[in-house]
């Protein structure tokens, strides 16, 4: 897909018109990806940049099914867990690669109140609400449109979540754009408007393994989180209401540490999460984009940086993967074979005083940007 840009400039006494072609050398193509149980056709879009980096994204749940990035020797490898077929995502997926919403992460007891009215959501994670409920955004078929920009191309996915869907108030009009850039970035832009005040917290839920999906555990990956504080939880993953410093705890990733170094520490929060499954409070909030995380895989030399305008990032280490998910190429995904880095507002923010605002009101526009940038060393 190619974009032409024409502009004029004065050269000496004359006006010269210059046309720049190939402003976007990112290619976009699509193919069928099966049908849902009610016969709705689903498509798979392939984005490929000038460096050979490739992302495959389906409009079912906005799932990134494949993400091929180069290693230090220039060899491409797929770094996200997933399935070969749509039917597998429909049958049993622990949110592989999807858009989660209306509210990613947990809401205590599935309840929140707005203007004195209490709303009840599904409790699909023990006593709590998780990732939008029984049929969240990860299980919806979105409308897809191809888009282009300078040095990037992608798809915009749109979905209307109607008033009362999964118990949430208001018609929520959502648009999520996946961009692949020639700087080896997967950029995600979220926008939404509503007809009634409603909680919103959209995020992306890829399970990453920078050594390549299906290659084993991620314990040797080195993680750096640009956060002085994190959000402690109870045993159900619900915040206690406190913001705690990471210094002196296994949650201190201010300098790079291997995931496996302290993941078995005798620490109540580690025990609650069966490893890392917590929200970190990103430093330097208020800027357009903040560096939230950096992960390095020593063997391949792959580096992934995460930038966002959100206040928090959930770091999850695949603690509930148990070998029951048979992924691409019949690979078995076992305990801690991947990690997630989900940019977000803090869990249970609608019920927590002092947490970031998570209610979208009529006349406002929800915006959220997340960039996954890939490098090598």
Q: Quick one: CA torsion of 292, 64, 90, 112, rounded to 10 degrees?
A: 30
**Exposed e or buried b per residue across 173-194, where buried means at least 16 C-beta atoms within 10 angstroms of its C-beta:** ebbbbbbbbbebbbbbbbbbbb
Among the options 205, 221, 278, 346, which is catalytic?
A: 205
List the beta bridge partners of residue 372: 186, 306
Distance (Å, whole) CA 317 – CA 257: 14
Active site residue 205: yes
CA–CA dist 150, 120 (Å, integer): 44
Question: Active site includes 165?
Answer: no
Q: Which of 140, 190, 146, 133 is nearest to 161 (CA)?
A: 140
The token pair at 174 is 């959502």
Burial (CB count <10 Å: 0-12, 13-18, 19+), residue 359:
middle
Residue of 102, 94, 124 lying closest to 349 (CA atoms): 102
The phi and psi torsions of 77 (rounded to 5 degrees) equal -145, 145
Which residues lie across from 6 on neighbouring strands?
19
- Asked if the peptide bond before residue 95 counts as cis, ω within 30 degrees of 0, the response is no
- φ, ψ of residue 28 to 5 degrees: the values are -130, 130
Catalytic-labelled residue, pool 305, 342, 346, 368 = 342
User: Are the beta carbons of 80 and 67 closer than 8 angstroms?
Assistant: yes
Q: What are the catalytic residues?
A: 205, 342
């Amino acid at each position: 897909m190619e974009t032409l840009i024409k502009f004029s400039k004065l050269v000496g006494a004359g006006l010269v018109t210059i046309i720049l072609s190939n402003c976007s050398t990112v290619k976009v193509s699509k193919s069928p990806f099966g049908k849902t149980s009610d016969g709705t056709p689903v498509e798979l879009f392939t984005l490929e940049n000038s460096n050979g980096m490739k992302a495959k994204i389906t409009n079912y749940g906005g799932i990134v099914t494949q993400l091929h990035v180069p290693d230090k020797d220039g060899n491409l490898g797929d770094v996200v867990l997933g399935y070969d077929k749509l039917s597998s995502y429909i049958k049993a997926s622990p949110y592989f690669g999807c858009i989660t919403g209306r509210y990613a992460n947990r809401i205590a007891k599935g309840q929140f109140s707005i203007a004195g009215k209490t709303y009840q959501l599904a409790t699909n994670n023990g006593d709590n609400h998780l990732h939008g409920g029984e049929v969240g955004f990860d299980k919806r078929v979105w409308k897809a449109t191809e888009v282009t920009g300078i040095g990037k191309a992608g798809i915009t996915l749109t979905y209307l979540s109607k008033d009362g869907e999964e118990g949430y108030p208001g018609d929520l009009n959502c648009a999520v754009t996946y961009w692949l850039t020639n700087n080896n970035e997967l950029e995600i832009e979220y926008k939404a408007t509503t007809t009634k005040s409603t909680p919103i917290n959209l995020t992306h839920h890829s399970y990453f393994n920078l050594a390549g999906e299906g290659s084993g555990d991620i314990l040797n990956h080195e993680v750096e989180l640009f956060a002085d504080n994190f959000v402690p939880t109870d045993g159900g993953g619900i915040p206690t209401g406190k913001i705690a410093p990471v210094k002196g705890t296994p949650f201190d990733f201010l300098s790079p540490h291997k995931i496996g170094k302290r993941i078995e520490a005798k620490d109540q929060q580690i025990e609650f999460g069966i490893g890392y499954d917590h929200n970190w409070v990103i430093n330097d909030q208020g800027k357009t984009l903040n560096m939230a995380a950096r992960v390095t895989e020593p063997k391949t030399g792959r580096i992934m940086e995460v930038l966002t305008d959100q206040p928090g990032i959930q770091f999850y280490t695949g603690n509930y993967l148990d070998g029951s998910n048979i992924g691409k190429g019949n690979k078995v995904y076992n305990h801690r074979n991947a990690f997630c880095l989900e940019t977000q507002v803090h869990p249970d923010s609608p019920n927590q005083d002092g947490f970031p605002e998570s209610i979208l009101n009529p006349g406002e526009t929800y915006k959220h940007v997340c960039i996954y940038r890939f490098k090598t060393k």
